[in-house]
Amino acid sequence: MSVDLPDDPFAIAPLTSGRDMWSTAELPGIRSIKMADGPMGIASGRVDERDVAVLTPCGTALGASFDPDLVARVGAIVGGEARRLGVDAVLAPNLNLQRSPLCGRAFELFGEDPYLAGALGAAWIGGLQSQGVGSVAKHLVCNDSETDRDSMNAVVDDRALREVYLLPFEMAATAGCVGILAAYNRLNGHYCVEHRQLLTEIVKGDWRYPGFIVSDWFGGRDTVRSALAGLDLDMPGPDRVLGTKFAAAVTAGTVSADRLADAAGRVAGGVRAIDGLPVGTAVADPDAVLTEAAAAGFVLLKNEGGLLPLAPAAVRRLAIIGPNAASPCLQGGTFAKIAVRPDFVTPLQAIRERFGDAMQVVYEQGVAPEYRLPPLSVTPARDLGDGASRGMTVEFFVGDGDGEPVFAETRDTNSLTWFVGLPGTDHLKQAGRIRASGWYVPERGGAHRVHIGGTGTLRLMVDGREVFSGGGPVAPSDLMGTLKGGDSQSVEVDLAAATPVLLSFELAYTPARAQGLWYGMAGPDLPAEMLERALAAAAAADVVLLMVGETADAGVESKDRPGTSLPAAQVDLLHRLQGVNPNIVAICNVAHAFDLSWQDKVKGLMITWYPGEQYGPALAQVLAGDREPGGRLPLSIARQDGDYPAFSLKPDMSGDVPYREGHLIGYKGMQAAGTAPLHAFGAGFGYTRFAVSDPCLTEAADGAAVVSARVRNIGPRPGKAVLQAYVAGPDGIRHLRGFVSIAVPAGEEVPVRLTLPSRAFAHWDTSAGGWRTAPARHEVLLGWSSLDLPLRLIVERAAGR
């Protein structure tokens, strides 16, 4: 969008740097816009558990829906939340790919396939922007892992870059996102924020993208290199890398005035574009949509004997076993973490409410959740008159003395982070001290392990007695890594049952751009007693729902996973349960590909991902048959770790992460290697069955292919069919190029139609520097997964078409 700006470099340069942590600068006639992190909702700019917002299903769960219309409605809910909170633009969706199951941030991603990610990302963008809120798609590009992400170098060939990793961003640009966020990492030797080929030649040149390109927060490094590469906005601000430094570079002659005018104009154009977005009707019933979306992502992979849906006539006693029934994982541990509504209904609560009158429902945890940082439930050390009955009394002190706190508040969380100033001091530029204290009442006596971590010198007191001191000042270059990693130290203390103790966690810090303090408590384990109760409950039940999975801190920023297995205690629990009751349905609260070598021990298997705040109601409705599990795998699940085309994400000694699989990511790489997955990309089923017939293909003048077929529901219940279209070129490798999600009543048949554009038959020709269609026979395959493709159509293509 063209915007008239003054000629004076110093007059327009503020537009290229943030005004503060989350807002852009303003000029006469160009307002400041406020941004917030996403994509699962509107994250608090304060990283504060009191800023409650709607929590939607994670990216992988939405990817499993294969439903652009539903994903658009979820995006519209986030857009409505943004408007309610005064946010103009959301840093979302995350369009990176699940290249490896070890990716620490996999839960935010739509899956392993670039077309699926691009199609659903575009739908989410459309939904968000229908509410008058702009989308800033992230993270351009190849931020597909977390280990050393601030410095690692993704080594990717041109074909893989264009066909795989850039495709979702290209589709987002076509969908009209107002901005694109450049990643922290390097790409082929250059930081993404300093990568001219990426930012200027491809995004702004080849794609003709009119929006702005912004750095990831604190990701800007060098003024001249970033400006020349095509970065338009550096965040946060002011004047870290661009801003007045941009204008000074223009004055010095190292950067052209036109480049500054282009950058400022793009930011101003982004503001005008947001102001020009139409504000559509808000989603009338967000809870209903989020329940639908959660269920639409559940992937049913086994249902031997038709155990699901649960039939009260056949199930008199239902045993719910596993830590994730009462303590589910709803989201990962990133800075975009959402504060969940206090009336959230757990799966255990929802299942009891749904089935309690029809069958006897018993619950046993079986094993404890495996937290990296265990929770800590306390009551405030001081009554601050705020009515709080839970949480820590957090006090803030200026300097290193023992004077009175300048401010105190109650915080009901075990992880405190400050980016935009400390209460009472209003900034982070002076040294100080923070003390979080509260009363803890042990349920059981014995050895307790207390955890503490933070961005400075740490001290832990129990009833006024120092039991730990450590840590120390954190170098500026290590600060964000310390915050993102959330590593803690621990000490063992012996506590008596039911005897209150006063815990105090202290952080002494030096001036820095952010600070953090976190803590937790793990009580004495009673594994034998817990297991014994679980086995007794299972032995007496008709059906066992085994609810296993991860904790919210299993997937985090800056760390990738060490492996694909569920916690060993959970796998052992499964084996022990199978010995007393064969009727086990495993419900896996996991948001990435994981080890399922144990699946022959269960009769039912369903993956629920991280399904958002309506997990409980959605799961109860699916188990009862009120809804069906509507998801299909947005990723491949291998038989063994070595079968994944990409697995290790650790950079080599040079800091490189070679993308050796090239463009053959996920299911394509498995096909090329002749390796059969345990569960194929696109696989999954509901409570009915489908058949597809009467395929037909018509070629259009522009090179597109219009594919039609008929889908029939041959089962006893209404259900959702996900018809997938793959294109295989001369090499025979199948690529998803289209899909349609449709509801089909029981016994009925519906027509479906898919349009495959000419690009669906092309590949990136590195030598020619462009898209090329091989002059050969291409196959269009229709079916239900990357392996289950019963129908085949032939397309003959001439060179270049």
pLDDT tens-digit profile of 175-190?
Answer: 999 999 999 999 999 9
**Confidence (pLDDT) at 2:** 61
Q: List, for residues 582-615, the tens digit of each pLDDT value.
A: 999 999 999 999 999 999 999 999 999 999 999 9
SS3 state at 707: strand
Give the type of residue at 541: A
760 vs 741: CA distance, rounded Å: 19
- Based on its alpha-carbon atoms, the radius of gyration of the chain, rounded to whole angstroms, reads 27
**Confidence (pLDDT) at 555:** 78
> Is residue 128 predicted with pLDDT exceeding 80?
yes
- 771, 762 contact by CB (below 8 A): yes
Q: List, for residues 33-86, the tens digit of each pLDDT value.
A: 999 999 999 998 888 888 899 999 999 999 999 999 999 999 999 999 999 999
Which regions of 38-167 does DSSP assign to beta strands (E)? 89-94, 134-140, 153-155
Beta strands at 186-187 and 190-191: parallel, antiparallel or unpaired: antiparallel
**Cis amide bond preceding 141, omega within 30:** yes
User: 232: which residues sit within 8 A by CB, 6+ positions away?
Assistant: 16, 212, 213, 214, 262, 263, 264, 266, 267
Give 69-98 as a DSSP string.
HHHHHHHHHHHHHHHHTT-SEEEEEE----
Using alpha carbons, list the distances in angstroms from residue 243 to 45, 547, 749, 797: 22, 51, 60, 51
- 22, 34 contact by CB (below 8 A): yes
CATH fourth-level superfamily of 688-796: Immunoglobulins (2.60.40.10)
- Considering the four listed CATH numbers 1.10.10.10, 2.70.98.60, 3.30.565.10, 2.60.120.260, the one that applies to the domain covering 379-522 is 2.60.120.260
C-alpha 383 chain-centroid distance: 38
Q: List, for residues 467-501, the tens digit of each pLDDT value.
A: 999 999 998 878 888 887 888 999 999 999 999 99
**278-297: buried (b, 16+ CB within 10 Å) or exposed (e) per residue?**
eeeeebeebeebbbbbbbbb
User: 558: which residues sit within 8 A by CB, 6+ positions away?
Assistant: 104, 146, 147, 149, 480, 481, 484, 485
The mean pLDDT value of the chain amounts to 96
> Is residue 131 predicted with pLDDT exceeding 60?
yes
Closest-CA residue to 472 (of 489, 492, 497): 489
- According to CATH, what is the number of the domain 9-275? 3.20.20.300
> Is residue 333 predicted with pLDDT exceeding 90?
no
Q: List, for residues 12-35, the tens digit of each pLDDT value.
A: 999 999 999 999 999 999 999 999
Q: What is the mean pLDDT of residues 159-168?
A: 99
Active-site residue identified among 88, 150, 216, 239: 216
Least confident range of 168-172, 207-211, 238-242, 332-336: 332-336
**Confidence (pLDDT) at 238:** 94
Closest-CA residue to 721 (of 687, 696, 754): 687
664 vs 675: CA distance, rounded Å: 13
DSSP letter assigned to residue 27 = B
**Confidence (pLDDT) at 554:** 82
Q: What is the mean pLDDT of residues 556-570?
A: 92
Q: Tokens 């992460």 map to which residue?
A: 657
- 506, 435 contact by CB (below 8 A): yes
Closest-CA residue to 467 (of 518, 505, 507, 514): 505
Q: List, for residues 630-676, the tens digit of each pLDDT value.
A: 999 999 999 999 999 999 999 999 999 999 999 999 999 999 999 99
Task: Identify the helix (H) or strand (E) that includes residue 588.
Answer: strand 584-589
The partner residues of 555 in beta bridges, in order of sequence, read none
Is 216 designated active site? yes
CATH fourth-level superfamily of 286-331+340-368+528-635: Glycoside hydrolase family 3 C-terminal domain (3.40.50.1700)
What confidence tier does 162 reach under pLDDT thresholds 50, 70, 90?
A: very high
Could you tell me the residue ranges of all domains in the chain?
9-275, 286-331+340-368+528-635, 379-522, 688-796
Using alpha carbons, list the distances in angstroms from residue 600 to 216, 603, 638: 44, 7, 15
Q: List, for residues 338-361, the tens digit of each pLDDT value.
A: 989 999 999 999 999 999 899 999
**Confidence (pLDDT) at 549:** 98
What confidence tier does 800 reach under pLDDT thresholds 50, 70, 90?
A: low
